[in-house]
Amino acid sequence: MEVVDLLRRHCPWTAALEPASLLEYLVEETYELYEAVDDVARAERPSPELLDELRGELGDVLFQVILHAQLQAEGGSFGLAEVAEGLTAKLVRRNPHVFSPDGALRGGPAGPVADIVATWQAVKQQERPARTSPFDGIPHHLPALAFAAKTLARAGERGDGGPDPAGEAGLGRELLELARRAVASGVDPERALRRAVLDYQQDVVGGA
């Protein structure tokens, strides 16, 4: 935090940053971290270079978090300490199988994973305002494919319930082919899918 504070006071470029101007960097750094995590996960034995890359990308995303907290602190809203305190309190609330309300470790068996997930979701629901739609809370700025997956999951859509024989690689090729057809037809596949998902959400809400 001290280094970031000094940058804000002595570096003209950093001093000019605002929350909105940081958004593009936040998205870019998040995708770079995603790629670094995926590279390490896919490697049978991650090389030192891959691990160095992952460490660096984690640092870049952490820098974004610190910067946003610093900007809010300068505006008198909250700082990094309050962010950490809020996260700690949330984790304690949502994991009563591990912590008592005062944050002390409970000890003893945790119980079935299904019960743990159900409790997490129940506490999460209590923390948020009542939803008027099953799709409230899904960020509209998600990439269209992730937006579609979240929407279908929230709607309870699981297809026919059976595994696709094509597997991940086959489905990936099908998606690539759909993107190829869209490009060949002059259609933006991202926008087309996003609009289809929004229409689907309206149909679900309208039919509820």
Which one has a higher pLDDT value, 101 or 164?
Answer: 101
Alpha-carbon distance of 208 to 203, in angstroms, equals: 9
Per CATH, the architecture of 2-78 is what? Orthogonal Bundle (1.10)
- Please give the backbone phi and psi of residue 56, each rounded to the nearest 5 degrees, phi first: -65, -40
Query: Is residue 206 within a helix (H) or strand (E), and if so which, with residue range?
Result: helix 189-207
Q: Domain-by-domain residue ranges, the chain?
A: 2-78, 133-207
pLDDT digits (tens, 9 = 90+) for 72-125: 999 999 999 999 999 999 999 999 999 999 999 998 888 899 999 999 988 988
Which of 24-33, 118-127, 158-167 shows the lowest per-residue confidence on average (mean pLDDT)?
Answer: 158-167
pLDDT digits (tens, 9 = 90+) for 34-46: 999 999 999 999 9
Q: What is the mean pLDDT of residues 53-78?
A: 97
For residues 98 and 110, the answer to whether their CB atoms sit within 8 Å is yes
